[in-house]
C-alpha cells in the first residue's frame, strides 16, 4: 500500500503547481453558488425550513455536494487517451496496478480540488447566508465519509473509463453518469425534496452515497445514520471495485496497441 | 554456454483493426457491418539473448519491434508462441517481471516535470519496494556515476535534455534491473550528450552485466554499443547476427575517395559508379561482386598520378535502409 500512498503524494506535490487551475475552477463554481443562493432565497420566501433544511443548511449542503462532484479528476479522459493512444504502455511496465495507480492520482487531485472549492465557497456562503449549527466532533466522521465517497465515485468512473478497451470514446457514458449524480445523486437538491417514491429509490442507489449522504451528514450529523452510510459506501465500493478490476482483467487481454 | 535471459519462440501477434470507408455512408456502414481486418504485426519470430548482451533490435516504423517489446514486457498478449524473460512468462507475470526490468523511452519521460528528479527517484524506491538503506546506497552510486549531484534537486523542467536523459536512466536503474529496454535513449540530444549517454550505458553493461535491448533509429547508437543486431521487417526477423557480419553480408559496395595531381577525367569500368567528382578528386562506388577493388585501384593508378586514396564501407544506415526496402 505504501507505494500507492507515495504515488498519491508525488501527484499531490505535482498538482500544487497547477493551483491556478483549481482556483479558477473554484471561481466558476462560486458564480454557480451565487446564482443558487438567490434562487433558494426566492424559494424560501416566507419559509424558515423546507424539508428539514434551513436556507443556511441548504446552501452549505449545496456547497458540499458541489465541492465533491466538481473536484472530479480527468480519469475518463486520461484512461481513454492511454488505452486508445497506447500510453498505457508506460504505466504497465511498472510493478503497480493500473487501477490503483489512477486511484492514488485521482484522490490527490480531488483532495486539492475539494479543499480549494470548499474553502472559497465557504467564504461566499458564510457572507450570503451565515453559518449553521455545525457539530465539530463530526469532523473525523465527515472526513471518512468524504474519502469513501471519492473512492466510490472513482470506481464507478473507472468502470466506465475502462470500457475504452471496447469503445472508442467513453465520454458519452460519463455524461450520463454525471447527470445521475446531479439529479438522483442529490448534487443539485437534497433527496427529501423529491417525491417520496423517487427519494426512496435514489436513497439506496450508489450515486447518493457520493453526493447526498456526505453533504447531509455535514449539515445534519446523525450518529445512527452514519454507520448505515459507511456500510453502504463500503459495500458499493466493493461492488464497483470488483466490476472495475473484472473489466480491466478482460479488457487488458484485448489491448490493441500497434505501431513502433 | 551462457544462459539465455530472453528466449522467444515462434512469437506471433495479430491485431484486429477496423476499416472504415470515407464519408458519412462509410461511417454508417462501419456501424452496421464493421469491416474488421487482421494485421500481422509480429510473424513467428524466434531468438535468444544471453545475459549481459547488448542487442540492437531495429526495424522501420510499423515493422513489429515495438509490439515485440510490449510482449516481452508483458504488456501485450501474443496471439501464439512463447517467450521467457528472466525466467518468467511476461504476459502471465507482468507485475513480477516489472521488478526485474527497467525501461527508458526517449520520447516518453517518466520523471515528474515540475518536481526535482530526486522526488521521482524516491517514488520509484517505493514502487519497486526497495529497502531504503540499499536504495540510498544505490542512489549515491548512480548519482556519482552519472555526475548528477548538482542537479537532482532542480525541477526537471529546468534541466537540459542531456541532464534529463541521465536522470531518466538513473530512475530506470534504481531497482538493479536484469534487463534494460532502451527505446531511442539519445533522441534529441547533442553529440556530446549522446556520447556521454552511450559511454554510461556501456559502463553499466560491463559493471553490472545488465542485458540491454536497444531500439534506435540512430545508427551511431547501434554501432557504438552493440555487437549483435536483430533486424525486423514486416513482422519477421530478416537479420540476426554480428554487426560486422551484416557488413560482410550486405556490403557489396565499397567507396574509394581519391585525390589526383592531374585533372580527373572519369573511369570506365563495369561495376564502378562515380558518386561525385571535382577537378582533382572523386568519390567512386565499386560493386565488389562485379569487379575486385584491387583492379579498380590498379586501373586508377595506371591512368592518373594519385595523391591520396581512402577506401571505406557504405555507411551502416544505407545498409539498413536497403534491408528495410526489401519486401
Mutate: best of B67, B76, B183, B232, partner A, most A CBs <10 A? B76
With beta carbons less than 8 A apart as the criterion, state whether A90 and B108 touch. Answer: yes
**pLDDT tens track for B262-306:** 898 888 888 898 988 999 999 998 888 889 888 999 999 988 999
Residue B251: band (very low, low, confident or very high) from pLDDT cuts 50, 70, 90: low
Q: Which residues of B42-73 are buried (b: 16+ CB within 10 A; e: fewer)?
A: bbebebebeeebbbbbbbbebbbbbbbbbbbb
**Most distant CA pair in chain A, distance:** 69
Interface of A with B in 1-60 (CB under 8 A): 2-3, 6-7, 9-10, 13-14, 17
Is the ipTM higher than 0.95? The answer is: no
Interface of B with A in 15-44 (CB under 8 A): 15-17, 39, 41
Task: Give the DSSP H/E element, type plus range, for residue A25.
Answer: helix A19-43
The number of domains in chain A is: 1
In chain B, ranges of CATH 3.40.50.300 domains: 4-247
User: Which percentage of chain A shows pLDDT scores above 90?
Assistant: 58
pLDDT of residue A260: 41
Q: Which of A9, A95, A259 sits opposite B99 (nearest CB)?
A: A95
Q: What is the DSSP letter of B17?
A: E
Residue range(s) defining the domain that contains residue A131: 2-257
How far is A28 from B227, CA to CA, in rounded Å?
60
Distance from CA of A95 to the nearest CA of B (A): 5
Distance from CA of A204 to the nearest CA of B (A): 37
Q: Cβ neighbours of residue B142 under 8 Å, at least 6 residues apart?
A: B148, B170, B173, B174
* Residue A164 near chain B (CB below 8 Å): no
B35-50 and B54-58 strand pairing? unpaired
Burial class (CB in 10 A: 0-12, 13-18, 19+), B212: buried
How far is B126 from B142, CA to CA, in rounded Å?
17
Cell of B294: 584491387
In chain B, ranges of CATH 3.30.70 domains: 252-326
Q: Which residues of A105-138 are buried (b: 16+ CB within 10 A; e: fewer)?
A: bbbbbbbbbbebbbebbeebbeebbeebeeeeeb
How far is B272 from A215, CA to CA, in rounded Å?
86
* Residue A96 near chain B (CB below 8 Å): yes
pLDDT of residue A192: 92
Cβ within 8 Å, pair A258-B70: no
**B-chain residues within 8 Å CB-CB of A8?**
none
**Out of 3.30.70, 2.60.40, 1.10.3470, 3.90.1690, which CATH number does the structure's domain B252-326 have?**
3.30.70
How far is B215 from B321, CA to CA, in rounded Å?
15
B228-233 and B54-58 strand pairing? parallel
First to last CA, chain B: 35
Task: Kindly report whether the global pTM for this prediction surpasses the value 0.90.
Answer: no
Nearest to A237 by CA among A245, A247, A249, A248: A245
| Angle separating helix axes B161-173 and B117-127, nearest 10 degrees | 20
CATH 3.40.50.300 fits B4-247, yes or no: yes
Average pLDDT over chain B reads 87
Q: What is the mean pLDDT of residues A204-233?
A: 94
Amino acid at each position: 500500500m505504501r507505494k500507492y500512498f507515495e504515488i498519491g503524494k508525488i501527484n499531490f506535490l505535482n498538482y500544487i503547481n497547477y493551483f491556478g487551475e483549481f482556483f479558477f475552477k473554484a471561481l466558476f463554481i462560486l458564480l454557480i453558488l451565487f446564482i443558487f443562493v438567490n434562487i433558494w432565497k426566492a424559494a424560501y420566501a416566507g419559509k424558515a425550513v423546507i424539508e428539514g433544511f434551513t436556507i443556511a443548511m441548504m446552501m452549505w449542503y449545496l456547497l458540499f455536494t458541489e465541492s465533491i462532484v466538481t473536484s472530479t479528476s480527468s480519469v475518463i479522459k486520461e484512461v481513454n487517451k492511454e488505452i486508445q493512444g497506447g500510453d498505457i504502455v508506460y504505466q504497465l511496465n511498472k510493478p503497480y496496478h493500473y487501477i490503483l495507480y489512477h486511484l492514488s492520482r485521482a484522490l490527490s487531485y480531488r483532495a486539492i480540488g475539494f479543499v480549494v472549492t470548499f474553502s472559497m465557497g465557504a467564504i461566499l456562503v458564510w457572507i450570503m447566508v451565515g453559518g449553521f449549527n455545525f457539530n465539530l466532533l463530526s469532523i473525523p466522521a465527515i472526513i471518512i465519509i468524504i474519502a469513501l465517497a471519492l473512492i466510490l465515485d472513482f470506481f464507478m468512473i473507472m468502470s466506465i473509463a475502462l470500457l475504452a478497451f471496447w469503445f472508442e470514446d467513453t465520454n458519452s457514458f460519463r455524461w450520463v453518469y454525471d447527470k445521475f449524480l446531479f439529479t438522483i445523486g442529490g448534487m443539485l437538491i437534497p433527496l427529501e425534496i423529491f417525491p417520496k417514491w423517487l427519494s426512496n429509490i435514489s436513497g439506496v442507489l450508489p450515486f447518493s452515497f457520493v453526493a447526498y449522504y456526505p453533504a447531509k451528514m455535514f449539515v445534519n450529523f446523525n450518529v445512527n445514520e452514519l454507520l448505515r452510510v459507511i456500510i453502504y459506501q463500503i459495500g458499493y465500493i466493493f461492488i464497483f471495485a470488483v466490476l472495475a478490476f473484472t473489466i480491466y482483467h478482460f479488457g487488458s487481454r484485448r489491448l490493441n496497441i500497434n505501431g513502433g | 554456454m551462457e544462459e539465455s535471459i530472453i528466449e522467444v519462440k515462434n512469437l506471433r501477434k495479430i491485431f484486429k483493426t477496423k476499416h472504415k470507408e470515407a464519408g458519412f455512408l462509410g461511417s454508417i456502414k462501419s456501424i452496421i457491418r464493421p469491416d474488421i481486418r487482421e494485421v500481422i504485426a509480429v510473424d513467428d519470430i524466434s531468438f535468444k539473448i544471453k545475459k549481459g548482451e547488448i542487442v540492437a533490435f531495429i526495424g522501420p516504423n510499423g515493422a513489429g519491434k515495438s509490439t515485440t517489446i510490449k510482449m516481452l514486457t508483458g504488456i501485450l498478449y501474443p496471439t501464439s508462441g512463447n517467450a521467457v524473460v528472466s525466467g518468467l512468462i511476461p504476459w502471465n507475470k507482468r507485475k513480477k517481471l516489472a521488478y526485474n526490468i527497467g525501461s527508458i523511452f526517449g520520447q516518453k519521460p517518466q520523471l515528474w516535470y515540475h518536481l526535482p528528479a530526486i522526488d521521482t527517484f524516491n517514488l520509484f524506491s517505493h514502487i519497486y519496494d526497495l529497502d531504503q538503506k540499499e536504495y540510498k546506497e544505490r542512489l549515491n552510486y548512480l548519482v556519482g556515476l552519472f555526475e548528477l549531484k548538482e542537479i537532482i534537486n532542480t525541477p526537471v523542467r529546468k534541466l537540459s535534455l542531456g541532464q534529463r536523459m541521465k536522470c531518466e536512466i538513473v530512475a530506470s536503474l534504481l531497482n538493479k534491473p536484469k534487463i534494460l529496454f532502451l527505446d531511442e535513449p539519445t533522441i534529441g540530444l547533442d553529440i556530446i550528450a549522446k556520447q556521454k549517454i552511450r559511454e554510461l550505458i556501456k559502463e553499466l553493461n560491463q559493471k553490472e552485466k545488465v542485458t540491454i535491448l536497444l531500439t534506435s533509429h540512430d545508427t551511431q547508437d547501434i554501432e557504438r554499443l552493440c555487437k549483435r543486431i536483430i533486424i525486423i521487417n514486416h513482422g519477421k526477423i530478416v537479420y540476426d547476427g554480428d554487426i560486422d557480419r551484416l557488413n560482410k553480408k550486405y556490403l557489396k559496395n565499397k567507396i574509394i575517395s581519391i585525390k589526383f595531381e592531374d585533372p580527373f577525367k572519369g573511369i570506365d569500368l563495369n561495376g564502378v559508379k562515380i558518386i561525385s567528382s571535382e577537378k582533382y578528386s572523386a568519390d567512386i562506388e565499386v560493386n565488389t561482386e562485379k569487379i575486385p577493388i584491387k583492379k579498380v585501384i590498379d586501373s586508377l593508378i595506371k591512368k592518373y598520378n594519385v595523391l591520396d586514396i581512402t577506401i571505406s564501407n557504405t555507411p551502416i544506415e544505407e545498409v539498413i535502409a536497403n534491408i528495410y526496402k526489401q519486401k
